[in-house]
């Protein structure tokens, strides 16, 4: 039987509620926290440190922290452009990637400082398949791609075994979305040879045995291919962490496997906001809000809205209000914030209605909320040790932990 771990993908030390949620989770019995160097540009690791400082040593010592390295985003991307890191895959304008040993060591030093630790329980190579994606885009041969991929992983494992020897980590592993793909998918990352690479790396460094202990991959009610990898891992004595338990892909589309209540305050917030925008200075803002209301049911899943919010809505709002007088702006921003909070709840509600309709066959036997059925499916898997769930509010922690009985 598996258990829950606390996922910190969108957790930041700047939000007191996130820190409180981590505390609640630890008090409720969560003993593994999953994070990464790039989560909220280091804010997730700082939040973990802030939350754990309120516990005594025995509890802190029993909470295992798994962090990951590989992504070059935010502050790291700015550093890279000033002084380039080694062996970098330039995947997109906002996302570069590296698993070079030199980058690994720098990232680990920064993670330990943010987490206020001398030793990290486990350090994972984070989605190394970005090299595969890039090579496929450049039309390289599959055998050439995998040979180079294994070489890069081996060099990373050597660096990780060196960190084992120096005592800065207790173990390591790989977190890969590609572990959850079908074996005939060009983006699939073969995992059977990873332990051989790890043992050879240990020998090169002078360690008697390797310290490769953990894999992380997406598994959920819709995406079950990763269960084969999980079975292999358990047969070889590895710890299995699964992510994206509620964010599932099917036929190229993403679905949030959760149900949400219709927000009671939405139409009040909408009408109140429209009322204060009924003047010539705010005509563009009025039109935007009307369009948003009309299209609230057209998002595939809540992640689509979040992307649209930052790419389109917020820039448009910023441009619309830039000439508003300061004494009016403060009040207006409160209405904007209130409306956007309620609008996101409404989009989540609309998405959940659509999801339940589209996935009615998958949830035909589900007599509970979708999220409960989805999580219970994973709890029943004996090849999974930890289910990583994003629990950014104390209320989420209580809902999730209640499923453990």
The pLDDT tens digits for 88-121 are: 999 888 889 999 999 999 999 999 999 999 999 9
Dihedral pair phi/psi, residue 66, rounded to 5°: -110, 125
pLDDT, residue 294, reads: 96
Q: How far is 295 from 292, CA to CA, in rounded Å? A: 5
Cβ contact 245:389 at 8 Å: yes
pLDDT, residue 323, reads: 82
Q: Three-state DSSP class for 387?
A: strand
> Can you say whether the dihedral through the CA atoms of 396, 400, 401, 403 is positive or negative?
positive
What residues are paired with 66 via a beta bridge? 34, 122
pLDDT, residue 5, reads: 97
What residues are paired with 212 via a beta bridge? 172
pLDDT, residue 405, reads: 61
pLDDT, residue 142, reads: 82
> What is the CATH superfamily name and number for domain 3-257+366-404?
NADP-dependent oxidoreductase domain (3.20.20.100)
pLDDT, residue 356, reads: 92
Listed as ranges, residues in the chain with pLDDT below 50 are none
Cβ contact 33:6 at 8 Å: yes
pTM of structure = 0.91
Q: Which runs of consecutive H residues, i.e. helices, occur in 93-139? A: 101-115, 130-137
The pLDDT tens digits for 32-61 are: 999 999 999 999 999 999 999 999 999 999
Q: How far is 72 from 232, CA to CA, in rounded Å? A: 30
Which residue in 220, 149, 156 sits closest to 189, CA to CA?
A: 149
- The helix (H) or strand (E) run that includes residue 34 is strand 32-34
């Amino acid at each position: 039987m598996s258990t829950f771990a606390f996922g910190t993908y969108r957790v930041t030390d700047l939000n007191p509620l996130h820190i409180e949620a981590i505390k609640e989770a630890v008090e409720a019995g969560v003993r593994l926290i999953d994070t990464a160097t790039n989560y909220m540009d280091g804010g997730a690791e700082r939040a973990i440190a802030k939350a754990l400082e309120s516990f005594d040593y025995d509890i802190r010592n029993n909470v295992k922290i798994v962090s990951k390295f590989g992504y070059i985003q935010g502050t790291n991307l700015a550093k890279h452009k000033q002084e380039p890191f080694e062996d970098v895959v330039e995947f997109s304008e906002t996302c570069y990637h590296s698993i070079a040993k030199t980058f690994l060591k720098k990232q680990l030093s920064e993670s330990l400082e943010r987490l206020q630790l001398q030793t990290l329980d486990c350090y994972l190579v984070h989605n190394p398949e970005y090299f595969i994606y890039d090579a496929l885009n450049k039309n390289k041969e599959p055998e050439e791609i995998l040979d180079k991929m294994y070489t890069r992983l081996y060099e990373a494992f050597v660096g990780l075994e060196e960190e084992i020897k120096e005592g800065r980590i207790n173990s390591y592993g790989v977190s890969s979305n590609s572990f959850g793909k079908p074996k005939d998918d060009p983006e699939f990352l073969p995992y059977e040879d990873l332990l051989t690479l790890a043992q050879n790396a240990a020998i090169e460094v002078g360690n008697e045995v390797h310290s490769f202990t953990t894999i992380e991959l997406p598994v959920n009610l819709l995406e079950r291919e990763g269960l084969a990898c999980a079975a292999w891992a358990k047969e070889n004595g590895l710890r299995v962490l699964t992510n994206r338990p509620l964010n599932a892909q099917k036929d190229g589309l993403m679905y949030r496997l959760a149900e949400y209540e219709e927000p009671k305050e939405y139409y009040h917030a909408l009408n109140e906001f429209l009322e204060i925008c009924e003047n010539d200075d705010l005509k563009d803002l009025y039109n935007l809000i009307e369009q948003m209301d009309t299209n609230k049911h057209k998002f595939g899943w809540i992640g689509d809205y979040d992307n649209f919010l930052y790419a389109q809505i917020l820039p448009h709002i910023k441009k619309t209000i830039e000439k508003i007088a300061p004494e009016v702006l403060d009040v207006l921003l409160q209405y904007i914030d209130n409306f956007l909070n309620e609008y996101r709840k409404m989009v989540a509600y609309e998405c959940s209605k659509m999801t339940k309709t589209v996935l009615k066959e998958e949830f035909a036997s589900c007599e509970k909320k979708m999220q409960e059925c989805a999580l219970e499916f994973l709890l029943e898997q004996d090849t999974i040790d930890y289910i990583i769930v994003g629990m950014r509010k104390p209320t989420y922690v209580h809902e999730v932990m209640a499923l453990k009985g």
